[in-house]
Chains A and B, each alone.
Chain A
Amino acid sequence: MIIDINFIGLIIASIMASAVPLILASCGELITERSGVLNLGVEGMMIIGAISGFALMTVTGSLIIAVFGAMLAGVLISTIFAFLTQTLVTNHVATGLALTIFGIGISAMIGKNFVGIPGKEFPVLFEGLKDIIPLLGPILFGHSIVFYFAFALPFITSYFLKKTKIGLIVRAVGDSPESASNQGINVRLVRYACILYGGSMSGLAGAYLSMIYTPQWIENMTGGRGWIALALVVFSTWNPIKILIGAMIFGGLTIIQFHMQAIGVRIPVQFLTALPYIVTIVVLVVISRDSRKIRLSTPSSLGKSFHKDN
């Protein structure tokens, strides 16, 4: 049997494509968590981004407005979370859950008029180079700008956290808000900024799903990806580069599922669909087992409210 080498390239490319929303949302959430805030509303922000992007694209016809609009929608919805947790000092877990429930409801409400409308074609870059190089061609070329951005993001995030002053401030706020505050850093402001940034990335992840990956609006189309993105942050032990690896594993599981069905493997489809969720649990167990290691890499103030008494 001859296996077309380009076919392997295409499979790898499709795995990467399904990893994109996970990378975006996880990298955003990673920054939020590094500042000490646990936002469980990723799924809600993502679905809001998905409907906002799709709706704006349909209404305005402009892909640029749609993509940035989706990010803005993510920012807006995360502002609710930021206001509640930072200004009104509410519990992070409960507020994040409320955000997810609210987001799913609002998105379905807005999305009612957009069900069944076909999406638009999103332009891809370097299409011509795709067939020139075997194997690497389909992997490297012919993708959307969001795709390239997603694969650059972990490296940018890593550089930001390690090498820039603002990155240092974010880490300081997450590891010890008290001493950061004593140094004159406005903890609340930093956390606000990190939450809104996380919102914008989740919004972008959602827009990628509804505009590029499966260009259409389907209710609940994020299908738990927001939660998997949260799990990936734990998996990465708050290291952006490892998010890349984790997202590829989960992307791989999603894609293999389709191919197994295609070649007629006699495994119930439901089992294959459940695989990413089961693997998430297994991976979490393996990573978390070593409680000392987890404690060392977790931002020390994660999920704890900080309130400076006047």
Chain B
Amino acid sequence: MIKIVKRDQPSRAIFFLTPILAIFLTLVAGGLIFYILGFKPFEALKFFFIVPIADKYGFSELLLKATPLCLIAIGLSFCFKSNNWNIGAEGQLTFGAIVSGGVALLFYEQEGFYILPIVILAGAIGGMLYASIPAILKTYFNTNEILVSLMLVYVSKLILDYLVVGPWSNPEGFNFPETRQFSDSARLPLLFEGLRIHAGIFLALAAVVISWFVFYKTYLGFQMKVSGFSLKTAKYAGYKGKKMIILVFLISGACAGLAGVGEITGPIGQLHREVSPDYGFTAIIVAFLGRLHPVGIIFASLVVAITYLGAETAQIFMQIPKYTGQVFQGMILFFLLASDYLLFFKFKFIGSKK
């Protein structure tokens, strides 16, 4: 007989093993879906997860997609750790891209070493400004941050649309919904000839290191952890709850804004309608899959980035619809949450003898 027993303490080993289990289960379920759709499951999975990263170019593309995911997820982990549900990173990314793009357009005819830092800073500030809206409304008006941050995603995309179609559209652009190209000084340098991977990856890595330090070596990190466990305890300990809420939102907004900078000043070099294929939403999954741990998030961002590439490859080679990527992302989160059950409960085998 098998009995389900509550664990005395959540298992730490299982805490880091379940993400792997979740990925495995997603592959099994994905294979099943491919089978139902009439594809050979193993071939489809190969095109989805192995073929896209089999060469140098593919690997560069993987890092290119993992960079914004990692950066945003690191920011989100500040929010999620302290029980703040910022799910509007997509909007903060977009607004960051708008502000930094606007600044880059001011310098479109100029060159100079000072331009890029200003553009990057502008993106971070843009993301912070946008994230401060749900933060302030939550702290001073008791408004649900989930709904506010999400509504702002739609608003930001409409602002971007207005700008690239209207006032910021390229005067010599034959009415295409895009801006002028930024000057070279406003672009993040590419790291290798012929590959699209750019210096934005260093921003992501810096975020990883800084967040690790903050989480595990500072008083702020400790406060966040306590607030995440119990808001009452945090209040009792006398932590400045409001300040912290605003701070974690600002950090998370800055990271999303920087991801936006990477998108427009990297390979694209201009603003257009779609600056992000929903990186801001996917990063939520990355943050959870990485267990809100900086190192975990690096691995998680690589795994989830494959679903983007895999979806493209599978569409080209097997005519598998590209939305399968999103289906995979949803499934990873489902399985991850489900396998959390093992953290708190264990199966006990009880022999038939008494």
Contact = CB atoms under 8 A, between A and B. Distances in A.
Interface stretch (B62-70, B179-187, B336-344): B336-344
B334 interface: yes
B321 to A, nearest CB: 5
Interface in A67-98: 80, 84, 88-91, 93-95, 97-98
B327 interface: yes
A30 to B, nearest CB: 15
A294 interface: yes
A270 B94 CA distance: 15
Nearest to B160: A270
B197 interface: no
Given A94-B337, A278-B155, A284 B150 contact: no
Contact of A88 (B85, B330, B341): B341
B166 A112 contact: no
Nearest to A235: B147
A99 B284 CA distance: 13
Given A84-B337, A112-B321, A268-B162, A281 B326 contact: no
B142 interface: yes
A25 to B, nearest CB: 14
Contacts of B337: 84, 88, 90-91, 94-95, 98
Chain B interface size, as a band, is 35 or more
- Grouping DSSP codes into helix (H, G, I), strand (E, B) and loop, the B interface class, with mixed when no group exceeds half, is helix
A200 B159 CA distance: 34
Interface stretch (A12-20, A203-211, A223-231): A223-231
Interface string A227-248: 1001100100000000000000
A224 B341 contact: no
B281 A101 contact: yes
Contacts of B142: 288-291, 294
A102 B330 contact: yes
Interface string B140-182: 0111101110111011001101100110000000000000000
Given A270-B159, A274-B154, A284-B144, A108 B334 contact: no
A80 B155 CA distance: 31
Given A93-B85, A288-B141, A231 B151 contact: yes
Interface in A245-285: 268, 270-271, 273-274, 277-278, 280-281, 284-285
Nearest to A96: B146
B158 A274 contact: yes
A106 interface: yes
A152 interface: no
A204 to B, nearest CB: 22
Interface string B305-318: 00000000000000
A176 to B, nearest CB: 19
A24 interface: no
Interface residues of A, number: 45
Contact of A231 (B147, B154, B155): B147
A105 interface: yes
A104 interface: yes
Contact of A271 (B141, B162, B285, B321): B162
A32 B170 CA distance: 49
Given A89-B341, A108-B323, A108-B326, A97 B154 contact: no
B147 A89 contact: no
Contacts of B330: 98-99, 101-103, 105-106
B71 interface: no
A80 B323 contact: no
Contact of B87 (A97, A104, A105, A309): A97
B23 interface: no
Interface string B280-303: 011011001000000000000000
Contacts of A65: none
A42 B325 CA distance: 21
A84 B334 contact: yes
A109 B338 CA distance: 24
A40 interface: yes
Most chain B CB within a 10 A radius of its CB, from A112, A270, A280 = A270
B6 interface: yes
Contacts of B143: 281, 284-285, 288-289
Contact of A89 (B146, B155, B166, B344): B344
A88 B340 contact: yes
A280 B341 contact: no
A259 B331 CA distance: 42
A94 B146 CA distance: 11
B77 interface: no
B162 A227 contact: no
A90 B344 CA distance: 11
B210 interface: no
A73 B330 CA distance: 17
Contact of A97 (B147, B151, B284, B324): B284
Contacts of A108: 321, 323, 326
A102 B325 CA distance: 10
A102 B344 contact: no
B329 A105 contact: yes
23 contacts: A84-B338, A94-B337, A97-B333, A98-B334, A102-B326, A102-B329, A103-B330, A105-B327, A105-B328, A109-B321, A112-B321, A112-B323, A224-B150, A231-B151, A234-B147, A270-B158, A270-B159, A271-B158, A277-B152, A280-B151, A281-B137, A284-B137, A289-B142
Top 6 nearest A-B pairs by Cβ distance?
A102-B330, A105-B326, A98-B333, A108-B323, A105-B327, A270-B162
Interface of B: 4, 6, 85, 87, 137, 141-144, 146-148, 150-152, 154-155, 158-159, 161-162, 165-166, 281-282, 284-285, 288, 321, 323-331, 333-334, 337-338, 340-341, 344
